[in-house]
C-alpha cells in the first residue's frame, strides 16, 4: 500500500512544494534498484512520468523536479512551482511484478 | 516518436464483453512490456495487468483476475485487453502504458458499463 501526503496542496508560484509517499514494504529490489516512480496527471491528460527509480528524471522533465528517499519513505520536491505544474501527482511502486500500486494522488493547485 | 493509441471503448451493458486495443509505434514493440491501467471517473489510477515483452508472463490485479485477459500481436504492434462479464464498477478510462516504469502512456479509451 502506498500512502501519499498531503492529499492536496495550494502553492504560490515560485515557492517550493513537497509530497511524501510511504510504502508498507521496502521498495528495494534484489537487483539493487528501488522501484519508486512519480507521475503527474495534468487536467484532461494521461499521466506522465516525472521520476523513476526514486531520483532519475525522465527525458524532458524540468530540473525543478527532484525525487529522494529509500526503503519505504520517498519525497517528490518541486523547487519553484509554476502554473504548468498544476495537476495530480501519483507515486507508484513496481518492485513486485504482481502488485504494482499507485498512491492515492496529491492534487496541486496554484494560490 | 513513441506513440500508444488506445481504442475499442464505448457503452456496453452489464455482463457483456469488450476488447480494447493499444496500437504502438515509434519503437521496437517486441522489446517492451506493457500494462493496462484504469481510472474511474474522478478517481485515482488502478493498475490492472502486465504482459512481458515475449508474452510469457502475464500478471493481473485481483480486480482483473478471471474476467480480463491481456494479449499482444507482434504482427500488428498491438496490445489487447479482453474484458468479460463487465460490471458498472468497470466504468473508467483505460490506459495502456509501456515498461516497468510506465514511461509512455496512451490518451486512454472510455468504457461505460450501463444498462
Query: What residues of A are in contact with residue B95 (Cβ under 8 Å)?
Result: 46-47
pLDDT at B45: 97
Banded pLDDT at B100 (limits 50, 70, 90): confident
pLDDT at B76: 98
Q: Do A47 and B95 touch (CB under 8 A)?
A: yes
**Closest Cβ–Cβ partner in B61, B97, B103 for A58:** B103
- Give residue-wise pLDDT tens across range A52-87: 999 999 999 999 999 999 999 999 999 999 999 999
pLDDT reading at B2 higher than 90:
yes
The three cell numbers locating residue B97: 502504458
A46 touches chain B (CB under 8 A): yes
The answer to whether B51 and B33 are in contact (CB under 8 A) is yes
- Give residue-wise pLDDT tens across range B40-91: 999 999 999 999 999 999 999 999 999 999 999 999 999 999 999 999 999 9
CA distance B20 to B37: 12
Banded pLDDT at A95 (limits 50, 70, 90): confident
pLDDT reading at A98 higher than 80:
no
Q: Do B101 and A102 touch (CB under 8 A)?
A: no
**DSSP output for B31-48:** G--EEEEEE-TT--EEEE
Banded pLDDT at A99 (limits 50, 70, 90): confident
pLDDT at A19: 98
The three cell numbers locating residue B7: 481504442
Query: What residues of A are in contact with residue B108 (Cβ under 8 Å)?
Result: 46
pLDDT at A56: 97
pLDDT reading at B12 higher than 90:
yes
**Closest Cβ–Cβ partner in B44, B47, B57 for A100:** B47
Looking at chain A, the whole-number percentage of residues with pLDDT higher than 90 is 87
Q: Do B107 and A46 touch (CB under 8 A)?
A: yes
CA distance A103 to B1: 29
**Count of CB atoms within 10 A of residue A60's CB?**
8
**Closest Cβ–Cβ partner in B47, B57, B95 for A46:** B95
Residue of B nearest to A45 (CA): B107
Amino acid at each position: 500500500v502506498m500512502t501519499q501526503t498531503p492529499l492536496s496542496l495550494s502553492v504560490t508560484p515560485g515557492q517550493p512544494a513537497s509530497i511524501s509517499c510511504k510504502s508498507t514494504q521496502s521498495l528495494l529490489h534484489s537487483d539493487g534498484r528501488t522501484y519508486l516512480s512519480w507521475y503527474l496527471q495534468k487536467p484532461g491528460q494521461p499521466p506522465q512520468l516525472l521520476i523513476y527509480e526514486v531520483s532519475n528524471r525522465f527525458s524532458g522533465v524540468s530540473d525543478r523536479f527532484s525525487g529522494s528517499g529509500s526503503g519505504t519513505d520517498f519525497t517528490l520536491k518541486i523547487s519553484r512551482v509554476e502554473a504548468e505544474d498544476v495537476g495530480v501527482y501519483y507515486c507508484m511502486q513496481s518492485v513486485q511484478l504482481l502488485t504494482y500500486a499507485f498512491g492515492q494522488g496529491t492534487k496541486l493547485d496554484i494560490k | 516518436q513513441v506513440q500508444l493509441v488506445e481504442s475499442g471503448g464505448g457503452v456496453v451493458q452489464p455482463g457483456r464483453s469488450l476488447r480494447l486495443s493499444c496500437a504502438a509505434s515509434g519503437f521496437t514493440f517486441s522489446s517492451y512490456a506493457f500494462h493496462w491501467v484504469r481510472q474511474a471517473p474522478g478517481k485515482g489510477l488502478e493498475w490492472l495487468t502486465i504482459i512481458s515483452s515475449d508474452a510469457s508472463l502475464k500478471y493481473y490485479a485481483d480486480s482483473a483476475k478471471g474476467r480480463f485477459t491481456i494479449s499482444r500481436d507482434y504482427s500488428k504492434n498491438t496490445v489487447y485487453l479482453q474484458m468479460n462479464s463487465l460490471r458498472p464498477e468497470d466504468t473508467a478510462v483505460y490506459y495502456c502504458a509501456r515498461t516497468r516504469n510506465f514511461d509512455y502512456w496512451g490518451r486512454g479509451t472510455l468504457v461505460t458499463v450501463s444498462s
